[in-house]
Chains A and B, each alone.
Chain A
Amino acid sequence: MAEVLMTGNSAIGEAAIRAGCQCYFGYPITPQNELTEYMATHLSRKKGCSFIQAESEISAINMVFGASLAGARAMTSSSGPGISLKQEGISYLAACELPSVIVNMSRGGPGLGSIAASQSDYFQATRGGGHGDYRTIVLAPSSVQELADLTHKAFDLADEYCIPVIILGDGMLGQMMEPVEFKHEAPEELAIRSGALRGAKGRPSRIVKTFTSNPAELEELNWSLFRRYQLIKKRETTCETFLVEDAELIVFAFGIAARIAKGAIRTARARGLKVGMLRPITLWPFPTEKIRELVKRTKHFLVFEMNMGQMIEDVQLALEGKGEVSFYGRPGGIIPTPNEVVRVVSRLYYQKGLN
């Protein structure tokens, strides 16, 4: 298919439909409304599909829970404050091992915050977010094309590992238009996932539950989830590296911040500064091993985020005290410019005597 010009939010919707998403349940919140509206237009009348504008984010995520129980590919989306409300449901989805896709086009926080693009939900996304001992896969796209590609991948990962997958975008990615190519056609019919609850026809009845009065049973569930998380860490950790081979200074950034950083690094390179970048594409699992490889060669790192410093904690854990880590962040919905990042990079480069 040829490229089309689309907003990030619409591209997620189209990619989800092409991934075989059958159920979308949403609730209005800026800056992700175009996605809900896209699904209302393109999914709601599709055969075998369902769209509901729910009464709350809590209801929407629980509708996802119900649809996933029945074996459907189901999705919801929101932004910061709404994602907070969905955390209860995400914990239950994780506990019941139900595939599901949750999009967070994040905005400035805390509280109602602002509707401008921000990366303030990194902690919430990567630490499970809700109650209990669980993980979710977190994908962090940095372009509209990648939003589309990772949306498709999110449904596959969710099904493969029976896990909720979070797409952590931001208001800027959601609202901006870029050319995007959709590489998949919507499937005619998806196989019914094994374990789906649709009535016990020709088989014994099934129970999907999390509560138990036996702590040993729950411990077993926790271990079983943990083993799967280890497998996901091993197989699904992805990141992009950019000009790291000879870099004296490596920038760590994710999502839209990485896009800004890339521009800054190109400018810095043109001025002779040996700067590279590592961009985690999966925020959980985090590319810890890759960072440990990089620190063997490069000693200076800059973490650049559109928040007050959240991913930096994962970077520091990965570095285990090796190397020197600096931080530059703009919270609250401020979009830093590439030139601003060039200034930060250059200052750091000369301060550390890397020239």
Chain B
Amino acid sequence: MKKVYTRPRSLKRNPFHYCPGCGHSVIHRVMTELIDEMNLQDKAVGIPPPGCSVFAYHYFDVDMAESAHGRGAAVATGMKRAFPEVIVFTYQGDGDLAAIGTAETIHAANRGECITAIFINNAVYGMTGGQMAPTTLLDQKTTTTPYGRDKKIEGYPIKMSEIVALTKGAVYIERVAVNSPSNIRKTKKAIRKAFQVQIDNLGFSLVEILSPCPTNWKMSPLESWQWIDKEMTKEFPLGVIKDMAGKKDAD
């Protein structure tokens, strides 16, 4: 009989602590499948952030080192420079990568560091209880925008992937979502490509994943999937933002 579905080798046998309907567990699953398929389990080092996914090391059976808030790209840079054979990925939320870690991310990309950033955009600070993130949509209610995000007071949702794409060292950037089986398949394809860009030493790769947070959005898992389609993708359209892989010069 042909085996069609099994637990990835690089996914530890720990029950996920994530809330029902959370995107992290789906993304962990997809990534560990890829780590198996691309034969990276003994080469990869993951850098999880403070946040809900600080415990990612309970699930990824690869070397993992927790970084300070927002510093993932700098930590990954140091590691990759010290030992270029390693395949290093950061796993960062929107507050982490697009607020406190803005400088680290942009400059790592601009230097063309051969690292991969997995950027989870769920439009809120999750672990701290649902505060406004840099990616919170206009009019979206959070615990720190109880009347909805007002552009006059809180400014606009930041399009970090588009900003990073402007740096010449960024080789591959795609925005995907994990709110449907087909989108999950696209997510896997995007991360595969991002890892490949690093394996081929081409430069910086980033995959932004729109990911549901039903708890802080105060929605059912199904509603949160629909909200990504209806609201989030209007501000954050899915698709390849930049792909210089295979082109002669990233310029």
Q: A residues within 8 Å of B by Cβ?
A: 22-23, 25, 50, 52, 54-56, 58-60, 62-72, 74, 88-89, 92, 96, 196-202, 205-211
Contact = CB atoms under 8 A, between A and B. Distances in A.
B240 to A, nearest CB: 27
8 contacts: A23-B78, A89-B68, A198-B83, A198-B86, A199-B42, A200-B61, A200-B62, A205-B41
B75 A63 contact: yes
Contact of A66 (B63, B75, B103, B107): B75
A64 B106 CA distance: 18
B54 interface: yes
Interface string B91-117: 000000000000110110001000000
Interface of B: 41-45, 47, 50, 54, 57, 60-68, 71, 74-83, 85-87, 103-104, 106-107, 111
9 tightest A-B CB contacts, nearest first: A66-B78, A63-B78, A62-B74, A72-B82, A50-B81, A66-B79, A67-B82, A55-B107, A67-B78
Label chain B's interface by main secondary structure: mixed
A198 B85 contact: yes
Contacts of A69: 45, 65, 75, 78-79
A14 B61 CA distance: 40
A59 B42 contact: no
Contacts of A68: 78, 82
A216 B144 CA distance: 32
B86 A199 contact: yes
Given A50-B81, A67-B78, 19 more contacts: A23-B81, A52-B77, A59-B103, A62-B67, A62-B78, A62-B104, A63-B77, A65-B75, A66-B75, A67-B81, A67-B82, A69-B78, A72-B82, A89-B68, A196-B83, A198-B45, A205-B61, A208-B66, A211-B54
Nearest to B40: A199
Given A205-B63, A210-B66, A211-B66, A66 B76 contact: yes
A197 B45 CA distance: 7
Contacts of A74: 78, 82
Of the candidates A54, A63, A198, A209, the one having the most CB atoms from chain B within 10 angstroms of its own CB is A63
B82 A50 contact: yes
Contact of A199 (B47, B62, B68, B106): B62
A54 B74 contact: yes
B87 A199 contact: yes
B77 A199 contact: no
Contact of A206 (B63, B66, B83): B63
